[in-house]
Amino acid sequence: MLDQMLRHPAVKKALEAGEERVGKLVTQLLSSEKVVSGLQSMVSSALTAKSVVDRGVKRTLQAVNLPSTEDVEELRRKLSDLESMLDQLAERVDRKPGAGGEGAP
C-alpha cells in the first residue's frame, strides 16, 4: 500500500519539493559560521566525554583484574605471532633430512 502511495504523481511531487526544501535548509545551516562552530564544539565535547568514559572503564576493568578490549586485541596479536612462528618452525623441521618422525622422542 505504501509502495502504491509513493508511486502516485502528487506524492512524488510533494516528496521532491520537501527534499529540495530540506536540502536548501541544510545548505543554509552549514553556511552559517555559528552553526558550524556549534557542531564542531558539540562533536569535540562528545569525543572528550567518550575518552573520559573509556579511561574510566579501562581503570575499572584493571581494578577488578579483567582484560580490556585493548588487552584482548594485544593478546590476539601475540597469539597470531606465536602461531606464525610455530608454523615456520614446523616447516623447518619438515624440510630437514630424515625428519620423518623416526627416532624422534
> Cα separation of 28 and 26, whole Å?
5
pLDDT band at 101 (very low <50, low <70, confident <90, very high): low
Full residue range of the structural domain in which residue 81 is found: 67-95
The DSSP symbol for 67 reads -
Q: Residue 73 domain-assigned? A: yes
Q: Residue 71 domain-assigned? A: yes
- Whether residue 11 is predicted with pLDDT greater than 70 in this model: the reply is yes
Q: Is the dihedral of CA 27, 28, 34, 38 positive or negative?
A: negative
User: What contacts 50, CB < 8 A, 6 or more positions away?
Assistant: none
- Whether residue 78 is predicted with pLDDT greater than 90 in this model: the reply is yes
Q: Residue 105 domain-assigned? A: no
Question: What is residue 102's predicted lDDT score, i.e. its pLDDT?
Answer: 53
Instruction: Indicate whether this model's pTM tops 0.85.
Output: no
Residue with C-alpha cell 509502495? 3
User: What contacts 58, CB < 8 A, 6 or more positions away?
Assistant: 68, 70
| Share above pLDDT 90 across residues of the chain, in percent, rounded to a whole number | 65
